[in-house]
A and B are shown apart, each in its own frame.
Chain A
Amino acid sequence: MSHVSIQSMTMHFDGKPPTKAVDDLDLEIEEGEFLVLLGPSGCGKTTTLRCLAGLETPSAGRISFGPTTVFDAARRVNLSPDKRNIGMVFQSYALWPHMTVRKNIKYPLKARRIKEGLKGGWVEETAALVDCGVLLDRYPAQLSGGQQQRVALARGLVARPDLVLFDEPLSNLDARLRDQVRAEIHELHGRLGFTAVFVTHDQSEALALGDRLAIMRHGRIEQYDTPEHVFERPATEYVAAFIGMSNRLVCKRADNGWACSGQVLAGAPLQAAPLGGTVAVRLRSEDVDIHPGTATVPADRTTATATIVDSEYGGKTMDVVARLGDTRIFARIPSGDSGGFARRLTPGERVIISFRPTDAMLYEAEADRSADAEAVGEQTSDVPAQAVSV
């Protein structure tokens, strides 16, 4: 195990047009830390991971694992992947179909000539750790997706590498298995304490697994912090959008407060002292409440009147879409009793929406909504086409 350090790493891709996949990136990963690189497709997270593995060669910068420099553009140092002591888990599992599970797991030990591990039963030990002890003599094609990913996990861990790299390992699994394997990875990390870098575009995976998260955009790190801080205090509007604050109210300073789509917000004031004339308010849909048009709203909440567009029943909660001028508001409110207010919302109904100013994050409004489009709009395309067709 070792401390991993990336210094001013840049990666160009020639092409039309040429792109900067990673842009002057600095990253320090503490020994035993579980770092999650989070971001939409094209943000450079996978490229960063592949540079750590040595599968891509950065255009500039320095990477070191503990005392060993594995890449240094200036000194022309570039250790090939086999010379870096790493393990890696791939999105497509990449188990070699012509080898049994045992041979797959044993491979890193043989390739790295770790005699101690070959004799010491590390293969069986690691397989047991991921619950695959009984599968050792089968071929990968005979396993289910979840089993294959567990075997891939064992293969990545068996040689006890300095650094374990995960390239969206859960995105080919169905929802239930994903939660299960995620929990296992978390448990294994707690038990073995390896240093890990985990790439994903799924915020719940990131929050659950990471000791720290690095949210990436255009090859740069937008925020590098603990999951709690990222979730509760997103540093930029882009991070806020990516981490689930899907409501965006553009508010302009008016004589008597803040106005959104021409309507002055009532109730508790927004806390936007240091910002200029226009702010973007970011809110989670869970933090927005809906009240009857005639109700009295508690004084600690900011309010506005809106029109219901649609509402969906979701079991314990209702997903409501309302319109405030030309701004769409998403609210997730408790369903309440059958026949209650939340269940009876009809399109066109006038209601009051409210939120606590402390739940809102305020940012200097960007000219357009690119942060939204980047952070949310592209998420669905992040799953490669092959993954779907398999």
Chain B
Amino acid sequence: MTAVATPRATSVDVGSAARWLLKPLGLVAFVGVLAYFVLGPLVRLQSKAFADGAAGYRTAFTADRIGRTIAYTIGLALGSLAIALVLGTLLAWAATRLPPKLRILRVVPVLPIVVPAIASVVGWAFLLSPRPGYLNATLRRLPWWSDLEEGPIDVYTMPWIVIITGIGLTAFVYLFVAAGFESISAEHLEAAQVAGSSPMGVFFRVTLPLLRPTLLYGGGVALLLGLGQFTGPLLLGRTAGIDVVTTEIYGDMTQTPVQYGSAAALGSTLLVFGVVVVGLQKFFLRDRKRFVTHGGKAFRSPGRPSKLAAVALLGYTFVATVLPVSALVVVSLSPFWSADIDFAGFTLDNFREIFDQSNVTDAIYNSVTISLLAVAISLPLGFVAASIILRGTRHRALRMAADFLVAIPLGVPAVLFGAGFLLTYTEGPFVLYGTRWVIVLVYVTLMLPFATRMQLSALVSLGEGYVEAARVSGSGVVGANVKVVLPLMRAALGGAAALMFVLLTHEFAASVLVRSSTTQVMGTVLFDYWGNGGYPLVAAIALVMSFVTAIGVVIAVMVGGSKALSSL
């Protein structure tokens, strides 16, 4: 991250494959296309919201429940952020104290990211529904709860939506903080120990302050994700009247006629939050140099290795992944969902049924092909964008524009993009609604930040030496990039492709708005079955979805080497 933030390597020659693009005209055209993809939908939405004397804003902000909706949104974001920051940092700390033989456990907290959000939310519902939830049923066996008919936990309430969201976000925070720990050199901590600090003293006076940028950055990302949470509130909160901004937008978009204006106005609140969060991040992270520790040996925990660390990591994995997935497995094997598990009655009928239904198989096919296509388009776009950002000294304005444009999809909730794309591509000039191309376009746009950032950091860390060496040895621009840069970036590209494939096959929030009855993806089909109450089929689809994702990860690791997973 730090390397990305200080693109001092402006003289780096690695982007030379895109040199023809850097001729100003091509450059302007490229940034223009980016702007059309990213900003076009948002601008169109705003123009709807401001039409008729800002009727959209009036409708949205005079509704009775707007105050409550915003309160729920902020509550969900801050609550889940608090859980994720504490748990994620503790887990990352635990990961540094693993005994050498258990180092492999460092990757397990990432598993919740591989399980689609919609699948794990459904899994939690199966566990914690007041009456038939498996965990509730188990808790009712305890003597002091034995008199209860239902409960003691109700997953369809605010606190539990916050907890479940927080557990999911923990994995993201863990990723950032674990990387932050890795980048602290051991000698800086040893120096503090030798200077007379106890291990606790070292943690609070040196480790934690050095982690500050990581915590701010990772916390900022988690906060944005929390603000944009859609799946959890939609599936768990909407029937109980717990609405957040994203689910209200969804409500507006699924009415007839579609309430574009009001949806856009609601979306503006999230845009404002996003800008504030990003602005604060930039402000607090302005002096990154102060936190970079150079040289010395790689991070080594000053504390002694501890088995407890392994217990903590496994405990989190059990709660965040094993529990919900097991619930899915049990329901998917049962004829119907009830609190009593009938092991004898387990059957694969549900899987047979979903594979017999063309809408489900079509959706799986669509998810995989559209995701692959979107990954294939985003990677080269991201490479060009990264090259512009890296060597854009001569075109400062365009470079800043590119930097800004590729960052937007990270700060804007996917639901809002879905709404914007639906609006943009049901009207002229390009009417794509109903085809798979509109989904491809949304996916490419959503992936721009990942495709660009990951390749940018790979290019920066590669430096200029290798390409210069290839060029003076007689390679042309293309040859140097193909023979030297691409092989060296293999792991980074594999990692980027894996991450994007995983995120896209999970995608639900934007898909649910731009899909049509004939063009479905896995997440949307699952959602339809959930609405119809076909729970065993829902569980089966959720498992298939997780399986497809897992295959994507395995392939990426095979292509990109084991480092691909750590860049996840």
Contacts and interface: CB of A to CB of B under 8 A. Distances in A.
Contacts of B188: 94-96
A87 B194 CA distance: 6
Interface in A69-109: 80-82, 84, 86-88, 90-98, 107-108
A386 interface: yes
A82 B289 contact: no
B150 interface: no
B210 A96 contact: yes
Contacts, number: 101
B292 A141 contact: yes
Nearest to A142: B289
Contacts of A387: 295
A96 B190 CA distance: 11
A142 to B, nearest CB: 8
Nearest to B296: A92
A110 B209 CA distance: 17
A93 B187 CA distance: 8
Interface in B195-250: 195-199, 201, 205-206, 209-210, 212
Contacts of A97: 210, 289-293
A53 to B, nearest CB: 6
B290 A98 contact: yes
B359 interface: no
Nearest to A90: B187
B193 A82 contact: yes
Nearest to B199: A80
B196 A92 contact: no
Given A90-B187, A96-B210, A55 B194 contact: yes
B194 A98 contact: no
B196 A141 contact: no
B210 A53 contact: no
Interface string A364-390: 000000000000000000001011001
Nearest to B195: A108
Interface residues of A, number: 33
Interface in B262-321: 289-297
A159 B210 contact: no
B70 to A, nearest CB: 36
Interface centre among B212, B291, B293 (most CB of A within 10 A): B293
Contacts of B206: 96
A224 interface: no
Interface centre among A82, A141, A159 (most CB of B within 10 A): A82
A390 B295 contact: yes
A111 interface: yes
A51 to B, nearest CB: 13
A91 B290 CA distance: 19
A84 B296 CA distance: 22
A91 B191 CA distance: 11
B289 A108 contact: no
Given A82-B197, A94-B187, A98-B210, A111 B289 contact: no
A176 B192 CA distance: 29
Contacts of B191: 88, 90, 94-96, 155
Interface centre among B188, B206, B294, B297 (most CB of A within 10 A): B294
A55 B185 CA distance: 14
A297 B291 CA distance: 66
A155 B196 CA distance: 12
Nearest to A107: B195
B194 A53 contact: yes
B195 A155 contact: yes
Contact of A91 (B197, B210, B296): B296
A139 interface: yes
A307 interface: no
Nearest to A14: B100
B118 to A, nearest CB: 41
A92 B194 contact: no
A324 B258 CA distance: 96
Interface of A: 53-55, 80-82, 84, 86-88, 90-98, 107-108, 111-112, 139, 141, 155, 159, 165, 172, 384, 386-387, 390
14 contacts: A80-B199, A82-B197, A87-B194, A90-B187, A90-B190, A94-B187, A97-B291, A98-B212, A98-B291, A107-B205, A108-B195, A112-B196, A139-B290, A165-B194
The list of the 3 closest CB pairs from A to B, nearest first, reads A92-B295, A111-B196, A92-B296
Interface of B: 185, 187-188, 190-199, 201, 205-206, 209-210, 212, 289-297
